[in-house]
A and B are shown apart, each in its own frame.
Chain A
Amino acid sequence: MNSKLGLLIRLALIRPRFTIGYLIVASVLLVAILAPIIAPYSPTEADSQNFLQPPSAAHLFGTDNVGMDIFSRAIYAPRIDLTIAILGTLLSSVIGSSIGAVVGFYGSGRGIRVWLSFAIMRAADVLQAFPIFVFAIALVASLGQSIQTVVLAIAFVNAPIYLRLMRSQVLSIRSMRYVEASQVNGLSDTRTIIRHVIPNAMAPVLAQLSINIGWGIVLTAALSFVGAGVRAPTPEWGSMIAMGFQNVVTGQWWPSMIPGAMLAITVFGFSLVGASIEFLVDPSKRRELLSQARERRGHAGVPMEDA
């Protein structure tokens, strides 16, 4: 047990950047969960006497232009932003990769299935030719502005990425011996895809998930920034940046800069985690890293060079 912990610590020290990523994501999640306990003020109630106060002991990050406490709002915000981004990304990966798996599995040969696959790929082309942001706002506007529609917009905009990713994975896997073996042994196509093809094609999808959650947070914030996402008193980073927008020009930086910095750090954390997954799913790199960690056994605790 102890040696496993030691190995983990050595791994963390060899790749400090991955460690930082996991630390950022963990602390954002923790802050979001504990927000009601940590927050000194209500995230939606304004103290109209004390508007635009600079950061001080009473208001750690200052107050915004209606007098709401920025610290309290900024730590409540990831509840909304992360929920939307994670749900949207999961939904898009489920939809995108299941269609992608089917398209990849039936995409060659002949018959109606091939034509269907071709049609689906061209439809994905059309969707990807749209300017993403305008497409997302139009989706939210036509479905009615709410948290659910922002989730749907993120899912819809990202689905083609997973479709392509899964399709290219499945194309290379479907000619493998074990897929043939499973078919020869009488498993139906559906069971073959679910039991043998998808699990072996998941690795890059997982790496993409973490990166896309980061993008999802930016997209949510961007939609709220132009007024098409989450509405004002609800604590959300994008709408907080928008509220402080005019004040930045006149010198009150805190209402915009602080939520934006938290947003940027969070997204950075998720892309580091994504990079680590991308790295760890490669078996040869994983082996190299593990052997490096074992070599350093003697001098654990000394920060290692980040190769």
Chain B
Amino acid sequence: MRILAYLAKRLVFVIPQLLGIVLVSFLLVKSIPGDPAVLMLGPTATKEAIAALRQQLGLDQPLYIQFLIYVRNLMHGDLGTSWQTTRPVLDDLYQRFPATIELVTFSLLLAIIVGVTLGVLAARNPRGWIARVSDIYGLSAGALPDFWFALVLIFVFYTVLGWAPAPLGRLDVTIIPPSPMTGALTIDTLLAGDWQGFHSACAHLVLPVLTLGLVNAGPILKMTQSTMEKMLESDFSRYEVLCGVPQNLVVRHALRNALPSVVTIISVLYGFLIGGAVLVEIVFAWGGAGQYAVQGVLNADIYPVLGFVLFSAIFSLVVYIVVDLIYFLLDPRISN
């Protein structure tokens, strides 16, 4: 019951925030120079044709009317049309967003494995060599520009060693993509029973996931380490040690109590990565949603940008709400 009341309260705040996001991004992309009508018709178009198209697109209306029209269309699930792909933005995003989510999710899993493991080991023995390695790693991982690290990995594992497939998308060109069910190729190929496709999809995921996972494990590592150190120094851990509880068990109990803050940083990172993966998507020609939005900005194609901002904001909000629900499970004190 408490959870339901909480969710309702949360949603009341979400809607004005979403509206704010749509308004700010609308004003921002509308002020990008470049007339879509001119760009769509090309340099040979006549003045009349351009004027007619502007009228058809509603570009001759005042800005606030254009915004109201956009919001009204949003309510009907119409996110506008991209003039570059000439397809509805919603269809484009349905195709590309799963690609981004698949990439980001696997990367996040890698970051969690690396960050939590190193963080726990480092906190267990703060003067040991693992603590020193993870300290240096935490500082240097944040300093790596991901698009450059991706190139380093491509050079080593594709150009020199030849282990990785060419950084040109999500599947080998010779493989027919499975019919989209979830949009995540690893899942779709499995559902279709296409082992060769599954293998190719996984192989293409390795380098981008390594890039994003290793570069972004830093914050998880730092949070795990500092919270674990605090927990291991707290009274309940000391009491357990005094009672002769084996160290592994003490660490496990401390980790259980450190989880809420670790989960928080993971959720923030998840939301960040949806937009933060853009550069890695570009390097690997991933065809994801971030890449689609960047192309939109660079070509005065505004609806893909608005659609992407909206989708990723909603995604972040959903993640945060799920995380709040996880808190209820992790910390029984909250629900009382």
Contact = CB atoms under 8 A, between A and B. Distances in A.
B271 to A, nearest CB: 8
A66 B152 CA distance: 22
Interface residues of A, number: 49
A139 B167 CA distance: 29
B309 interface: yes
A138 interface: yes
B313 A129 contact: yes
B276 interface: yes
A142 B145 contact: no
Main secondary structure, interface of A, reads helix
Contacts of B300: 141
Nearest to A250: B159
Contacts of B160: 251
Contacts of A241: 145, 147-148, 151
B145 A263 contact: yes
Nearest to A131: B275
Contacts of B283: 245
Interface string B108-150: 0000000000000000000100001001100110111101110
Interface stretch (B24-32, B63-71, B235-243): B24-32
Interface string B24-42: 1100110111000000000
Interface in A126-151: 126-127, 129-135, 137-139, 141-142, 144
A225 B279 contact: yes
Contacts of A142: 28-29, 31-33
B58 interface: no
B298 A226 contact: yes
Interface in A192-215: 214
Interface stretch (B75-83, B289-297, B327-335): B289-297
* Interface-centre pick from A123, A125, A139, A260 (highest chain B CB count, 10 A): A260
A17 interface: yes
A260 B152 contact: yes
B154 A249 contact: yes
A257 B152 contact: yes
Contacts of A125: 17
Interface residues of B, number: 54
B159 A249 contact: yes
B225 interface: no
A133 B275 contact: yes
B216 to A, nearest CB: 13
A301 B145 CA distance: 36
A135 B27 CA distance: 12
Interface in A241-294: 241, 245, 248-251, 253, 256-257, 260, 263-265, 267-268, 270-272, 275
A74 interface: no
Given A221-B145, A222-B279, 14 more contacts: A17-B139, A122-B17, A130-B309, A131-B272, A132-B275, A134-B278, A138-B297, A142-B33, A241-B145, A248-B151, A251-B159, A253-B159, A256-B151, A275-B139
A131 B159 contact: no
Given A144-B33, A257-B152, A306-B132, A268 B143 contact: yes
Contacts of A123: 20
A127 B278 CA distance: 18
A163 interface: no
B189 interface: no
* Interface-centre pick from B29, B143, B278, B282 (highest chain A CB count, 10 A): B143
Contacts of B149: 264
Interface in B258-287: 272, 274-276, 278-279, 282-283
A137 B274 contact: no
A148 to B, nearest CB: 16
Contacts of A268: 139-140, 143
Interface in B151-196: 151-152, 154-155, 158-160, 166-167
Nearest to B306: A138
B308 interface: yes
Closest CB pairs A-B (n = 3): A131-B275, A260-B148, A268-B143
A142 B17 CA distance: 23
Contacts of A227: 298
Contact of A228 (B17, B25, B142, B298): B298
A248 B154 contact: yes
Contact of A134 (B31, B145, B290): B290
A251 B276 CA distance: 27
Contacts of A260: 145, 148, 151-152
